[in-house]
Amino acid sequence: MNIKLQQIADLVEGKITGEGNLNISSLAKIDEAKTGELTFLYHPAYEKYFQTTKASAILVKTGFNKTRNDLTYVEVNSPEKAFFTLLRNFFSPQFPLEGIDKTAFVHPAAELGKNAALGKNVVISAGCKIGSNVKIFHNTVLLENVEIGDDTLIFQNVSIRENCKVGRRVIIHPGTVIGSDGFGFNPDEKGVYQKIPQIGNVIIEDDVELGSNVSVDRASLGSTVIKRGVKIDNLVQIAHNVIVGEDTVISSQSGISGSTKVGKNCILAGQVGIVGHIEIADNSILMAQSGISKSVKKPGKYFGSPAKEINTALRLEAHLRNLPAYAEKIKELEEQVKFLKEELKKFNK
């Protein structure tokens, strides 16, 4: 693909300094870019590569100090956002996928649209299982109620179990399971765990993206709900009856226990763990490796295990790092107190 730099500048509303008639073949990282490619510079950590990059053109912030004459500059308000806009509009990958792969199993109801529906432009890749748990009752096949909305892309080896619903423009990456049984067991009088039937479902709303090997458990009753615009990274566990609010993002290796409600526009960084039956306020940021043991009632940043408001957590961390010095200081003070007591005894005599 070759695109004129002027077309790129027009799309991102950028100002060109240099050769606007350049042909751009691809986008690249600043430290890996080659001749004919466009790169971008937005973070101070990457400024060290500016003098050595081999890119032909570079997206920079308006007012950038242009010290290289062999580069063509495109000045924009936000180089990072402009770069992502270009990726979406000119360089998005074209997946070699179409329709339903011959190795996928899709329940006949989903294909025929009787008790279920497949939308337009749905891609179901190799090895997928859609509504695969057919129930047999009195020798009658009960058709499953799986729904998959328009323009949804389901990659290899995804399982979507019975009665689950997937919205429009959803992307599900390989190995993810939608609608596996919730972790529901109850010990009997002998202490033997008996399985509690999980008879609810999972609802995935529009414009959701799920990474690889994500597990979204069906509800015991009702629905586990992933709301519109949620983005979930690889290796995330969503337990039964969880509700994740609109436009929330969840990073890898995080887990949300049953019946918890996560608000909208939240960020869960890597390895966040949340106990069950609590609520997380809208616009909350739960930082990496935090353990959330009670409801978060107001927006803000939280860190630690158990998690605390970020300023409190950082002060505690600072004190922890200083414990050896504190111990030495306390030892010194104890020696001084001991000395003063001895002196006081002498004085009283």
Active site residues: 240
Q: Are 292 and 268 in contact (CB under 8 A)?
A: no
Using CA atoms, how far apart are residues 95 and 156, in angstroms rounded to an integer? Answer: 12
Q: What is the DSSP string of 8-62?
A: HHHHHT-EEES-TT-EE-EE--TTT--TTEEEE--SGGGGGGTTT---SEEEEET
Structure-token match 């990072």, residue found: 80
> Distances from the Cα of 101 to the Cαs of 126, 130, 167, 285, in angstroms?
5, 12, 20, 40
Neighbours of 278 (CB within 10 A): 18
Using CA atoms, how far apart are residues 181 and 179, in angstroms rounded to an integer? Answer: 6
Neighbours of 45 (CB within 10 A): 7
Using CA atoms, how far apart are residues 152 and 148, in angstroms rounded to an integer? Answer: 7
Q: Are 180 and 215 in contact (CB under 8 A)?
A: yes
